[in-house]
């Protein structure tokens, strides 16, 4: 079974058996491939309130890029689910724990950003809210480590 490392933030890939390692690494690789395609997509629609070139955004190149994002992330999710099916209860609990804390981070930090935005002349968007989710996941990983792994 997988070993949780870095204070609950990561899995030790070398601790996986060959089938689990293949499924996990395939999932991560496809996710990163989709993330690169997502970055290319963002260049067409604008990021952080840039003004996008609408005509260029509708080109066939960007359409293919968007299809690549969707397909790679769906296949990545399927491989991750295959990986999770073979794991013990601790890894499944860790996965659910960090996901739940990510949602808590999204709600609490996201709500705080939203409430403060009129005073700071700041409009939180997708990336700020995703950052709130990532902070929540990190807090969840640390809490999981302290609750289940720390000795």
Provide the pLDDT confidence category of residue 150 given band limits of 50, 70 and 90.
Answer: confident
Residue pLDDT, tens place only, 72-83: 999 999 999 999
Give, for 3, the enclosing helix (H) or strand (E): strand 3-5
Q: Where are the alpha helices (DSSP H) in the chain?
A: 18-45, 54-57, 60-85, 89-120, 126-144
Q: How far is CA 9 from CA 12, 52, 53, in A?
A: 10, 35, 38
> In the predicted model, is pLDDT for residue 48 greater than 80?
no
pLDDT for 126: 80
The three-class DSSP label of residue 10 is: strand
d(CA 114, CA 109): 9
pLDDT for 53: 67
Which class for 70: exposed (0-12), middle (13-18), buried (19 or more C-beta within 10 A)? exposed
Mean pLDDT of the chain, nearest integer: 90
Average pLDDT of span 93-116 = 92
Quote the tokens at residue 41.
């997509």
């Amino acid at each position: 079974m997988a070993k949780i490392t870095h204070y609950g933030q990561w899995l030790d890939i070398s601790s996986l058996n060959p089938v689990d390692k293949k499924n996990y690494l395939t999932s991560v690789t496809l996710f990163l491939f989709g993330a690169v395609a997502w970055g290319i997509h963002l260049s067409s629609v604008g990021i952080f309130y840039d003004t996008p070139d609408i005509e260029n955004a509708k080109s066939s190149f960007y359409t293919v890029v968007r299809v690549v994002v969707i397909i790679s992330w769906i296949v990545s999710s399927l491989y991750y689910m295959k990986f999770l099916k073979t794991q013990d209860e601790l890894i499944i609990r860790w996965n659910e724990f960090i996901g739940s804390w990510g949602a808590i981070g999204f709600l609490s930090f996201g709500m705080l950003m939203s409430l403060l935005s009129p005073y700071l002349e700041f409009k939180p968007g997708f990336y700020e809210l995703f950052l709130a989710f990532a902070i929540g996941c990190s807090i969840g990983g640390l809490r999981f480590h302290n609750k289940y792994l720390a000795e």
